[in-house]
């Protein structure tokens, strides 16, 4: 059986280009916020872990001296290079690597970011410890990701549909869980904002090239879910929402 990291490489290696073109990943107020933060703080060296197709890297690139875009999947890094070329950004540098074992020296970066990646981390504490290690004292870590529900029934439903869509998915950790992970790692972290991300059902499954047999099961789960779950996720037959959270964390001086 493949381990989780091999599953990530296999799953996303086949659909990498879809993520460069995805409106969900290529736009959003959170990208605008990232750009603003980079512009206001004059960061020199930034690291984007689990960079995917590189949209977060591209958001901050005009405002920092250098961005290192790291991902475990080579074909995703190819999409980062295409995106950087399209936008004429010459300060984005790709690196193949694992967030749980970052190939960088201690205190190498002023800023570390990750967007829509952390739900693939088999060991979030190990990943956070590595981002903490490579940050300079007073360095900043920004995490943006889908978050799980605090209640068991709703969280179980979310995990089921996520795994049916993408076998490399690990978990959408709840806000309470992330806050605990940050504290245990040594970060001083704050929840900056939380919002509902609207997703079109067909685009969501097509982006990951989900087999039709599993699409049928996912849709059936939505159709037969409790009213509470359907209302919580704003399911209307064609679209639904995930909860997303943005955490802003700092390494002590």
pLDDT recorded at residue 14: 57
Q: What's the CATH fold of domain 4-250?
A: Rossmann fold (3.40.50)
Gap between the Cα atoms of 84 and 233, Å rounded: 34
Q: How many residues does the chain have?
A: 253
Domain ranges of the chain: 4-250
> Shortest CA distance to 30 belongs to which of 114, 134, 154?
114
For residues 20 and 69, is the Cβ–Cβ distance under 8 A? Answer: no
Gap between the Cα atoms of 179 and 132, Å rounded: 15
Q: What is the reported pTM?
A: 0.94
pLDDT recorded at residue 1: 33
Per DSSP, the residues of 70-117 read EES-HHHHHHHHHHHHHHT--SEEEEE-BTTB-SS-TT-EEEEEEES-
Mean pLDDT by 10-residue block, N- to C-terminus, for the chain (253 residues)? 57 61 81 97 97 96 98 94 96 97 98 97 98 98 98 97 95 98 98 97 95 98 98 98 98 96
* C-alpha neighbours within 13 Å on the C-beta side of residue 29: 9
Q: Which tokens hold the place of 187?
A: 């970060």
pLDDT recorded at residue 15: 62
């Amino acid at each position: 059986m493949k381990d989780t990291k091999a599953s990530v490489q296999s799953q996303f290696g086949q659909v990498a280009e879809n993520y460069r073109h995805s409106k969900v990943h290529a736009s959003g107020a959170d990208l605008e916020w990232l750009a603003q933060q980079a512009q206001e703080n004059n960061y020199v060296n930034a690291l984007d872990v689990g960079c995917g197709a590189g949209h977060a890297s591209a958001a901050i690139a005009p405002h920092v001296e250098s961005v290192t875009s790291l991902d475990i999947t080579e074909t995703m890094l190819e999409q980062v290079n295409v995106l950087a070329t399209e936008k004429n950004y010459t300060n984005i540098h790709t690196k193949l690597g694992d967030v749980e074992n970052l190939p960088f020296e201690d205190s190498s970066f002023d800023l570390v970011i990750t967007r829509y990646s952390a739900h693939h981390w088999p060991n979030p504490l190990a990943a956070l410890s590595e981002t903490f290690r490579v940050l300079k004292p007073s360095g900043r870590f920004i995490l943006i990701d889908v978050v799980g529900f605090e209640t068991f029934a709703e969280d179980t439903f979310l995990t089921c549909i996520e795994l049916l869509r993408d076998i490399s998915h690990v978990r959408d950790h709840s806000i309470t869980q992330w806050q605990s992970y940050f504290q245990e790692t040594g970060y001083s972290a704050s929840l900056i904002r939380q919002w509902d991300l609207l997703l079109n059902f067909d685009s969501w499954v097509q982006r990951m090239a989900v087999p039709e047999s599993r699409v049928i099961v996912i849709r059936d789960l939505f159709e037969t879910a409790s009213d509470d779950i359907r209302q919580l996720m704003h399911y209307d037959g064609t679209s639904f929402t995930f909860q997303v959270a943005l955490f802003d964390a700092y390494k002590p001086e």
